[in-house]
Structure 1
Amino acid sequence: MSLLSALPATDSYRTTGKGALSSAFAVSELATATFGAVGQELARLTAALNLSSEMPAATVDHKLASLWYGFSFKPDGWEMPSLWDAVAGDYQTADGWIRLHTNLPRHRAAALKVLEVTADRTLVAQAVRTWAASELESAVVAQGGVAAAMRSRSDWLDHPQGRAISRDPLIGWHSPRQIKLRDRPEASATRPLAGLRVLDLTRVLAGPVSTRTLAGFGAEVLRVDPPGWDEPGVIPDISLGKSCAYLDLKSSVGLEKLQDLLSQADVFIHGYRPGALDGLGLTKAKRDELAPNRVEVTLDAYGWQGPWANRRGFDSLVQMSAGIADAGRDWAKADKPTPLPVQALDHATGYLMAAAALSAMAEAALGNPIMLGQLSLARTAELLAVLSKSETQESISGAMPADYDTNPEASGWGPGHRLKPALSVGAAKMVWDRPASKLGTSPPAWPSLNG
C-alpha cells in the first residue's frame, strides 16, 4: 500500500513565493511541506478516480502557506473576538514556568480550584509562584484541567511520554479493511471532492483545519458540536466552507441522529481521546457496522501510547511540554517561554490529517485495503524539531493587501476578506462554497439530502 506515512519529497510539488516566519524552527518549511502533502495525495486521488488524463501537478505558494498557518480571515470594520481567556498564559513557578489553558470554563475552574484563588491574573500569578512546575501541572490535570510545565528538549526526550512519542509514526495506520467508495458523479478535475460527505467532530484547531481544507476542494463538510458550544476567536477562521450544527450526544435522540449522519458519511474526522467514542457507544465495531465504507482519521494531543495518551492538550501546551517554547527562549535570548509565531502544530497536523484522508481514498479507489489514520500534536512537534530551515533573508511578518482575495466574504459575523489559497492541484483551485458561519446555524443533516 502507498498510504501517506511521511512528508512528500519536495519534487512531488512545485513551489512559488519565498520568505520565512521568524522562529527557531522551520515553521515555514513545515507549512509548505504539509500543503505539499495535501497536494500530492489529492493528485493521486484525482488520477485514481480517472478525473484527469494524467497525474495533475500540485503547486504551493510558500508565503501563502506560511500565512495560512496564522489567521486566514481579515474582518472589514469589526474586530475578531479574543482568542484567549483572561487567565490563560505562561506563569513563573518556584522552579520554572507553566502554561495554564483556561479558555473553557471547566478548565478555568479546575486551575482556580487548585490554586485556591479567583479569576484575577495577579492573584493567579502569586499563587503559581508557590508551586513547583511539575507538581502544579499534575495537580491541575488531576482536577480535570489542562496545563503544561515548560521542559527542555532533552527533558522531554527523557520523559516517559517523550520516549513513547519517539516510537510513534508520523501517521499511525491500523485496522486494515477493504472498502468501496461511493460514486460521486459530480466530482471533476476542477472539484475532485464535490459531493464527498465529511462528518467533522473536531474542536480547536487541527481537526477543523483538516476539514476546511477538504471543503476547499468541494467536500460537503458537516461539523457537529454540543448545543451552545463556541470558540469565539477561532470559528470565523475555520468554519469556512462548512455546515455547522448542534447535537446533544448525551441524549438518545441526539446520539441516534449522529449515528444516522455517520451512516451516510464518506469520511469521518474526529478528535476524541482514546476510548472517548466508546463511551458514546460508538465503538469501532459499531462504526464499522454503521459506516463500513467510511474513511476515518483522528488525532489527539500527546500520542496514542504512553502514560499521557489520554491527557487533554492543545498546541500551546504541547509546545511547552515538548521543549519548543524552551528552545525558542534560548534562540530569542529571552527570559520567558518563547512559543512558535503561529500554532504550527495544530495547522501542520490538520493538513496532514486532510492528506491522510485523501491518501486512504486514493488507495480505496485503486482497490487496495485502507486503514484508520491516527495523528497527534506531539508527534508533529517531533517532525518540526528535526526539520531543516532553508537559507533565506526575507522575513514573513504578516499578510499584505495583495495576499487577500479581492472578493469579499460575508461571514456570519460580518464582511471580510480571506487569504488567497496557497495550493492548487492541476485544474483544481481551492474555492469554498460557503462563507464562514457561526456554530449551530445549520440543521444536523447532509445539505444534499435535505432538499
Structure 2
Amino acid sequence: MTHSPMVAVWEELGGDPALLPRVSTVAREGALEARLPVRELARACVAACALAAAELGARRAGLPEVPAVRVDDGAVATAFVSERHLQIDGRAPVSFAPLSRFWRTADGWVRTHANYPHHRARLLAALGLADDATVADVDGLFAERSAAEVEETVYGAGGLAVALRTAKEWAAHEQGIAVAGRPLIERERVGTARVRVLPPLDGDPLLPAAGVRVLDLTRVIAGPVATRTLALLGADVLRVDAPRLPEDPDAHADTGFGKRSTTLDLATDRSTFERLLATADVVVTGYRPGALDRYGLSPEALAERKPGLIVAQLSAWGAYGPWGERRGFDSLVQVATGIAATEGSPDQPGALPAQALDHGTGYLLAAAVLRALTERSEQGDGRVVRLALARTAAWLTDGIEQDEAGPVERDEAAPVERQRAQDLAYHRPDAWLAERDSGIGRLRYALPPVSFAGGPADWARPPGPWGTDSARWA
C-alpha cells in the first residue's frame, strides 16, 4: 500500500471524493498487528462500506448531507476475527479441520484446506490414502514429494493444496501477473433498463438497503460477510444452498446474522429460483468461476435475463488466468501470494492475524453493491462487480517484493484517515461483543464494524438453523 488505502478504495468504487471528509477514525495500537499493513486495509474496507451505506441512505432519505462515518479500530479488529469470537451455548467453534494446515514437503511447504468432507475426501484420494488416514499418514507422503507436485496432484483431483511462494515468485507466476493487471474492484455497467424503484426511507435507524432483495449464493466468509453486511443495512437477504452441500453449522452461525437460509436444487427446481430472480435487485455469487454457468447463473447470463440486476461475483484467484477456475480460500491465497512467507519466512511460514483477505474483500463487495445501488438510482441500469481474494492480496502486498522479511513501511498521511479522537490501545474485544438468544442457541458474537450516524448498531435478527426457511421473499 503505497498511498492512502481509503482514498484508493473510494476512487475504485467511483465515489465522490468530496465525501471523504465525512469519515473519521478511532485508531487503536495493538489492533491487527502484522508485518503487512493489515490494520490499514481493514480500516479502509470497513470505512468505504460505511461511507457507501451512508451515501445511499442519505439519497433515499432525502437528507441534506451524508451522515458522518466513524470507524473504530477496535470494532474492526474484533469483526475481522468474528469466527474466533463466536460461541454457541458457551462452545467455541473449531475453525480448521486436522487436515487443513501447513505441511513440510521435500523442498518447501504446502498448505491444504479440507474443512468440508468432500474436500477432505478429494485430498486423500489424490494421495492414494484411505478415508481413515491420519495426519501422520499425510505428513509422511508430503515429506517425500515436492511442493509443486503436491499442488498439481491435489488440484487435479479437485482438492485444495497450494505451494508456498514468496512475493517475488508470485509476481513472476502467470496467475500473479494476470491478477496484478486487474483493478481491485472491477465494475461494469450493463445495459439500460427500467428497474424497480426503491421507496424513500424515513425509519430509525436509517437502513440504506431497506427493501433491497438479495439472493446470496456464497459460502465461507468473504461472500457471507458481504451479504451479512447488506442484511445489517436492511436488505432482505435469502441465502440459497444446494441441499447436497450442507454448510458448516458454526460458519453459518457466524455469518448468518440478518439473513434467511433455504436450500434449492437448481438441477431440478429452476422455476423456484427464476421466480425469486424475477424480483431480485442483487445476486451475489461466491462459487469458483464457471461453477454456476451450467445453471445460467454466470454474471453475463443473469444480467441478460434480468435487466437492471446488480450481480456481484467473488472468487479466490480471479475469473481469468490459468488459475481462473480453481477453488481457493483465504489461507491458501496467503500462501500463494507471498503473504505467508512475509509474515513468517520461506523456511517457516506465518499467517495474517485474521483471515483479512476474506473479511476485507467481503466489506469491499458490500461497498461495491451499495455504490451500484446508488448509481442505479441515478442511471437506471444494472451493474456487474467482481472482486478476488488474490487481488485484495496484491493490494495488501504492494511494495513488499524488495524486502520479503522486513516490516512494510506504512503511509498514514492521508487527512481522511487521521484519527479525530483520543488514541487508545486495543487490549480486549469485550466492548464489541454481544450476546443474544437464537434458534440455534445462546450466541456470543462480534458486533458489526460498519457504523454511521443514525445507522443500525446490530442485526435485526440472529441466524436460524441452516436451510430451514422457505424459498420466498420476506
Q: Identify which of 226, 233, 239 aligns with 2:250.
A: 233
- Aligned residue number for residue 191 of structure 2: 177
Q: Is the 8 Å Cα contact of residues 285 and 314 (structure 2) preserved in structure 1?
A: yes
Q: Identify which of 204, 211, 215 aligns with 1:199.
A: 215
Name the stretch that deviates more: 282-291 or 34-43: 282-291
For residues 112 and 50 of structure 1, what CA distance do their matches in structure 2 show? 55
Answering whether residue 281 of structure 2 is matched by residue 281 of structure 1, we say: no
- Report the TM-score when normalising by structure 2: 0.86
Q: Is the 8 Å Cα contact of residues 186 and 195 (structure 1) preserved in structure 2?
A: no
Q: Deviations over 1:36-78 (max 9, x none)?
A: 1112212222233343222222111121111100016542643
- Aligned residue number for residue 341 of structure 1: 353
For residues 222 and 409 of structure 2, what CA distance do their matches in structure 1 show? 23
Answering whether residue 229 of structure 2 is matched by residue 213 of structure 1, we say: yes
- CA gap of 1:283–1:191, structure 2 versus 1, over 3 A, is closer
For residues 6 and 164 of structure 1, what CA distance do their matches in structure 2 show? 26
Q: Is the 8 Å Cα contact of residues 2 and 363 (structure 1) preserved in structure 2?
A: no
Deviation at 1:105, TM superposition (A): 2.0
1:407-418 equivalent positions in 2, closer than 5 A: 408-418=435-445
Deviation at 1:355, TM superposition (A): 0.3
Letter of the aligned partner of 1:436 in structure 2? Answer: P
Answering whether residue 373 of structure 2 is matched by residue 361 of structure 1, we say: yes
- CA gap of 1:403–1:48, structure 2 versus 1, over 3 A, is closer
Q: Identify which of 24, 39, 48 aligns with 1:14.
A: 24
Answering whether residue 410 of structure 2 is matched by residue 399 of structure 1, we say: no
- CA gap of 1:311–1:397, structure 2 versus 1, over 3 A, is farther
- Aligned residue number for residue 57 of structure 1: 68
Identity of aligned residues (%): 37
Deviation at 1:394, TM superposition (A): 7.4
Name the stretch that deviates more: 73-82 or 263-272: 73-82
Name the stretch that deviates more: 42-51 or 121-130: 42-51
Structure 1: stretches of 5+ with no match in the other structure:
none
Letter of the aligned partner of 2:170 in structure 1? Answer: W
Q: Identify which of 133, 156, 174 aligns with 1:142.
A: 156
The size of the alignment, in residue pairs, is 439
- Aligned residue number for residue 383 of structure 1: 395
Q: Which runs of 4+ in 1 moved over 6 A?
A: 6-10, 390-395
- Aligned residue number for residue 97 of structure 1: 109
Answering whether residue 47 of structure 2 is matched by residue 30 of structure 1, we say: no
For residues 206 and 130 of structure 1, what CA distance do their matches in structure 2 show? 34
Q: Is the 8 Å Cα contact of residues 219 and 287 (structure 2) preserved in structure 1?
A: no
- Aligned residue number for residue 403 of structure 2: none
Q: Is the 8 Å Cα contact of residues 217 and 239 (structure 2) preserved in structure 1?
A: yes
- Report the TM-score when normalising by structure 1: 0.90
Structure 2: stretches of 5+ with no match in the other structure:
1-9, 399-407, 413-418
Q: What is the SS of the residue equivalent to 1:424?
A: coil
Q: What is the SS of the residue equivalent to 1:234?
A: helix
Deviation at 1:390, TM superposition (A): 6.8
Q: Is the 8 Å Cα contact of residues 21 and 397 (structure 1) preserved in structure 2?
A: no
Answering whether residue 158 of structure 2 is matched by residue 168 of structure 1, we say: no
For residues 263 and 195 of structure 1, what CA distance do their matches in structure 2 show? 15
- Aligned residue number for residue 444 of structure 1: 471
Q: Is the 8 Å Cα contact of residues 98 and 137 (structure 1) preserved in structure 2?
A: yes
Q: Is the 8 Å Cα contact of residues 170 and 380 (structure 1) preserved in structure 2?
A: yes
For residues 290 and 90 of structure 1, what CA distance do their matches in structure 2 show? 44
- CA gap of 1:89–1:260, structure 2 versus 1, over 3 A, is same
For residues 195 and 172 of structure 2, what CA distance do their matches in structure 1 show? 44
- Aligned residue number for residue 250 of structure 1: 267
For residues 265 and 173 of structure 1, what CA distance do their matches in structure 2 show? 19
- Aligned residue number for residue 4 of structure 1: 13
Letter of the aligned partner of 1:124 in structure 2? Answer: V
Q: Deviations over 1:110-148 (max 9, x none)?
A: 221222223200110011101100111001001111111
Q: Deviations over 1:280-316 (max 9, x none)?
A: 1335564235422221111111012211111110000
Across the aligned residues of Structure 1 and Structure 2, the Cα RMSD in angstroms comes to 2.6
For residues 82 and 62 of structure 2, what CA distance do their matches in structure 1 show? 32
Letter of the aligned partner of 1:403 in structure 2? Answer: W
